[in-house]
Structure 1
C-alpha cells in the first residue's frame, strides 16, 4: 500500500516555496528543467514573437507562484492579471513582485529566457518588466461558475495556463468544466495558451503526494473543441527526465482561439 496517499491541491494546497525549490532549483532534479522549464519557455517565446497573440490584457492561471512563463508575454501585453486559488501562492508571488526580502530567486530561468531570445543583454530588464506588468494578483474560487466573482475584470485577449488544469480537476468532466470557466474570461476571438503534462497521476511536494488527473493529447484537444475553441498549434515532447517527483509521459503545448 502506498504510504503517501494523494492529496488534492484545491483542498489541501502545498508548500509553495518547497515546490519551487524541488522543481526549479534542486540540482539533483535539474533534468526536469528540460521538460518543465525549457520546453514551455521556448514555445512561449516562439509563439509571442510571431506576433499573432498580443493585446491589452493577459490573464495567467498557472500552477503555484511561478513566473518564468511570463517573461515572453510582458512585451506583448500591457497588463498581466494573475489568478491564484491559494493564499500561500499569492503571498509567495507578491513577495517576488514587490522585490521583498526572502523572495524566490528566478535568475536561472530569466537567464535561460534571454538566451533563447538571443538577447542576453536584456537579462537585467526582463524580471522588472514582468513585475511592472503583473501588478494585479487576484484570488479566485473554483467552486463558482464565475471564478473571479465578485470582481469584474476586463475580457482578456489571452489566457495562459501552465501545469494547473490537471491538478485542479478530479476527472474529465471537471477538467472540461474548469476549461469552460477559463473560456468565460476571454473575449470572443481571444486566445488560450495551455502547457501541461500528459499521462500523469501524481506529483510530489516535500513529503506530500498530490493528485493529477491523467489525460492524453486526444482528450485535451477534444476538450478544447468541446469548449468552443479552434486549435491553432500543438507541440508534444516525449519525457526526457528521470525523476520520481512526477510521473508524466509527455509535455504538451497548445495554442487555440475562442470562436466568435
Structure 2
C-alpha cells in the first residue's frame, strides 16, 4: 500500500483504545515500552525538574488519548488544556480523567514516573494531580486560523506536542505552517516541547495503516528556526522495539522557545 493511500488521522481517525493497547499497554507482548513510555517520561521529568519551564497554562496538542507525558508537567502548571481532533479520543481520555469504569489503566506508566522520582508510594497522588490539572479538554480543527474557534484560549506558557506534526503534515511546508500556528498559541518566550518519530512512513492501529510525515533531525531543527523558535535541547534515541506495525528509525525529543 502506497503512503498516499494510507488513512489519515485527522480525516479518518483511528480506534483510540486500540492505539493505547498496541503502543502503551503493560501487556507482555507490547514491545514499545522503552521508546514510547520510558523515554518521554525520562525526558520530560528531566526538562521540568530544571525549573525554568513553568507557569499558569500548558497546552497539550497530541494525537491519541495518552496521558503519561503529562505526569511531570502537572507539577509545574496550574492548568493543562488538552486539545483533541477526534471525538473518540476525547471520549477515551475523559473516561480516564473522570475515573469511569473501563478506563485504560495507566498504572504501569505512573509507576515508571514515581519510581524515577523516588516516590513509589505516591501512585494515586500523581494520577490525581494530572486529573486535577487537565480538566479542560477542547476539540479543535487544525485547518482553522484559530484552531479552537469559537473558543479563544489564553496564551500558553508551554505547549507539549506528541506526534501531532508527524500525523497531520503532508510535506515540509505543512510542517513549518503548523509550527507557526502553534507559535501563535504561545506567549513570547514560551516553550514548545516536541516528541516525534524520525524516518517514519506509516504506523498501524488494529487493521488500519495510517500516513505519517517523514523527516529527519536536521529538518526538525531547521523548521523550528524558520518558524521563529530557538532550539534549546534535542535528544535522539534509536529504536529498540522489534515490530512491523510501524517503521520509525528513532525517537526525537526537542525543547525550544519562541523568540520574543
Aligned length: 260
- 8 Å CA contact 2:56–2:78 kept in 1: the answer is yes
Paired with 2:246 and 2:122, the residues of 1 have a C-alpha distance of: 33
Paired residue secondary structure (2:197): strand
CA contact (8 A) 2:146 2:152 kept: no
**Secondary structure of residue in 1 paired with 2:164:** coil
Q: Structure 2 matches for 1:168-187, cutoff 5 A?
A: 168-187=168-187
Please report how far the alpha carbon of residue 177 of structure 1 lies from its aligned counterpart in structure 2 after TM superposition: 1.1
In 2, Cα distance between equivalents of 1:145 and 1:37: 33
Answer whether contact 1:29 1:243 (CA < 8 A) is retained: no
CA contact (8 A) 2:188 2:259 kept: yes
Cα deviation code 1:103-154 (max 9, x no counterpart):
1111110011111112112112111100000000000111112111111111
Matched residue, 2:255 = 255
Conservation of the 8 A alpha-carbon contact between 1:48 and 1:72? yes
Deviation at 1:46, TM superposition (A): 0.4
Q: Give the SS at the match of 2:165.
A: coil
State the alpha-carbon separation in 2 of the partners of residues 9 and 26 from structure 1. Answer: 24
Deviation of residue 30 (structure 1)? 2.8
Q: Please name the residue that 1:199 is paired with.
A: 199
1:202–1:29 distance in 2 versus 1, CA, 3 Å: farther
Q: Secondary structure at the match of 2:114?
A: helix
Change (3 A) 1:18 1:35: same
* Aligned residue in 2 for 1:104: 104
Sort the Cα spacing of 1:230 and 1:29 in 2 relative to 1 into closer, same or farther, 3 A: farther
Quote the residue 1:8 is aligned against: 8
Q: Deviations over 1:203-238 (max 9, x none)?
A: 000000000000000111011000000010001111
Aligned residues of 1:157 and 1:186 also touching (Cα < 8 A): yes
The 5 Å alignment of 1:13-162 reads: 13-25=13-25, 27=27, 29-162=29-162
Gaps of 5+ in 2: none
Partner of 1:212 in structure 2? 212
Shift in Å, 1:95: 1.1
Q: Distance in 1 between matches of 2:25 and 2:133?
A: 25
Q: Is the 8 A contact 2:61 2:84 kept in 1?
A: yes
Q: Deviations over 1:184-214 (max 9, x none)?
A: 1100000000111100000000000000000
- Give the whole-Å Cα distance in 2 for the aligned partners of 1:149 and 1:179: 18
Shift of 1:51: 0.4
Provide structure 1 residue ranges, at least 5 long, that are not aligned to the other structure: none
- TM-score, with structure 1 as normaliser: 0.97
Q: Structure 2 CA distance, aligned partners of 1:41 and 1:98?
A: 23
Residue 29 of structure 1 and its aligned partner are, at CA, apart by 4.3
The SS at the match of 2:176 is: helix
